[in-house]
Amino acid sequence: MHEFNLIQKYFTWDNPPENVAMTVGDDAAIMDLPKNKQLVTSVDTLISGVHFPKETPAQAIGYKALAVSLSDLAAMGASPKWFTLALTLPEINQSWLEDFSQGLKKLAQEHQCFLVGGDTTKGPLSISIQVMGLVDSGKALLRSGAKSGDKLYVTGTLGDANAGLDYLLNNSQVLAPEARQYCQKRLNYPIPRLVESAAIKDLASSCIDLSDGLLQDLSHILSASSIGAKLDLSQLPLSLALRTLEDKNSLAYALAGGDDYELLFTTSKENESKLLSRIGDKVTCIGSIAKDIHGIIDKAGKQLESSGYNHFND
Ligand code: ADP
Ligand code: MG
């Protein structure tokens, strides 16, 4: 199969939205931008054996490559619109491409994010997705807006993906088989929190998506906002799967495990009741922000170290 046919078959989608003036097929894509909106863009690369285990099903790879990019838009309070795909493949394997493009397209359609272009090359398997979205001008959620007295909230549950990865990579036996399955699903199919993002975007003072672990990502909000936080470890939201573990194991996954793709955000006390009435069942308060705290402490005042995933640290 020629590269041209591959692009035509798997990555040229029908019915582009009206705002796409040129999609896959020319030298570049063209999109119309509405007035009073800002373009928000982010790119993420997933490399086989680094960002996902080599055995990961193709459908999950396609899904996750887009999901992690959409998660960045969710963290900014932006609505996804378009994306491009740079794909490096070791070989042309049609059944792999079929599954990959299916996983990708299903999620893209769910969030009305249209594939407008890309690049296809030969080499070790790697997927880069650049996502583009829109936000009302001046209204993006940043890491830098947390204020003293704000409450700290998180969506979903923490640590599941890392528990799933620990089983796959290290054959960790702490999880029962059903719990393992659940955690692997959370690892392979993270849900970009776009619904929650839309609900909090006018209420949150700062926001980040959790890719490198709660402590590490919280520390980004804190340094961008020049402030500290107190975490209530007893309030960390844990799935039924993680609640079957000893506290020390579930806490390690929840505090330092990567790949959650939940939203971590702060909100003022005044906005809290509105937040809870909108999505109280989808968020958990895990602490508060205070200017007299250095870094992150627990309720007893003990300093918590952030030691999340770092690509250049072994
Ligand atoms: P050029 O050499 O001009 O860059 P390419 O052959 O790389 O052209 O791409 C031709 C068209 O196909 C372009 O519109 C490009 O955006 C699109 N394209 C290439 N690879 C992909 C892909 N993996 N997914 C989506 N579109 C792609
Ligand atoms: Mg090209």
Q: How far is 55 from 22, CA to CA, in rounded Å?
A: 36
Computed on alpha carbons and rounded to an integer, the radius of gyration of the chain in Å comes to 20
Ligand 1 centroid distance, CA of 118 (Å): 5
Spell out the per-residue pLDDT of the chain, length 314, in tens: 888 999 999 999 999 999 999 999 999 999 999 999 999 999 999 999 999 999 999 999 999 999 999 999 999 999 999 999 999 999 999 999 999 999 999 999 999 999 999 999 999 999 999 999 999 999 999 999 999 999 999 999 999 999 999 999 998 888 999 999 999 999 999 999 999 999 999 999 999 999 999 999 999 999 999 999 999 999 999 999 999 999 999 999 999 999 999 999 999 999 999 999 999 999 999 999 999 999 999 999 999 987 655 555 54
Which is the CATH superfamily of the domain at 151-298? PurM-like C-terminal domain (3.90.650.10)
265 contacts 145 by C-beta, under 8 angstroms: no
Per DSSP (E only), the strands in 71-144 are 79-89, 114-122, 126-136
**Pairing mode of beta strands 151-155, 228-231:** unpaired
> Which stretch of DSSP H or E encloses residue 67?
helix 58-76
pLDDT at 314: 46
Ligand 1 centroid distance, CA of 119 (Å): 5
Write down the domain spans for the chain. 3-136, 151-298
Count the residues in the chain: 314
Of 177, 207, 215, 226, whose CA–CA distance to 275 is shortest? 207
List the structure tokens of 21.
Answer: 């003036």
Q: How far is 256 from 166, CA to CA, in rounded Å?
A: 12
pLDDT at 311: 53
Same fold for the pair 3-136 and 151-298: no
Residue with tokens 């398997």: 125
Q: How far is 307 from 314, CA to CA, in rounded Å?
A: 12
Q: Is 265 in a helix, a strand, or coil? A: strand
113 contacts 73 by C-beta, under 8 angstroms: no
41 contacts 132 by C-beta, under 8 angstroms: yes
Strand order in the sheet with 126-136: 37-47, 126-136, 79-89, 114-122
pLDDT at 1: 84
Of 156, 152, 220, 150, whose CA–CA distance to 194 is shortest? 156
pLDDT at 173: 85
- Closest C-alpha residue for ligand 1 atom 2: 27
Of 156, 72, 171, whose CA–CA distance to 113 is shortest? 72
Residue with tokens 């893209």: 108
Q: Is 74 in a helix, a strand, or coil? A: helix
- Ligand 1: nearest atom to the Cα of 119: 20
CB of 115 within 6 A of ligand 1: the answer is: yes
> Which stretch of DSSP H or E encloses residue 7?
helix 3-11
Interhelix angle 3-11/94-110, nearest 10 degrees = 40
Decide which of 1.10.10.10, 3.30.70.260, 3.30.1330.10, 3.30.930.10 is the CATH code for 3-136.
3.30.1330.10
CB of 27 within 6 A of ligand 1: the answer is: yes
Helices (H), 240-304: 240-243, 247-256, 269-279
Ligand 2 centroid distance, CA of 245 (Å): 49
- Closest C-alpha residue for ligand 1 atom 3: 27
Q: Ramachandran region of residue 224, left (φ > 0), alpha (ψ -120 to 50) or beta?
A: alpha
For every residue of 117-133, which 3-state class applies, written as one string? Answer: EEEEEECCCEEEEEEEE
Q: Is 154 in a helix, a strand, or coil? A: strand
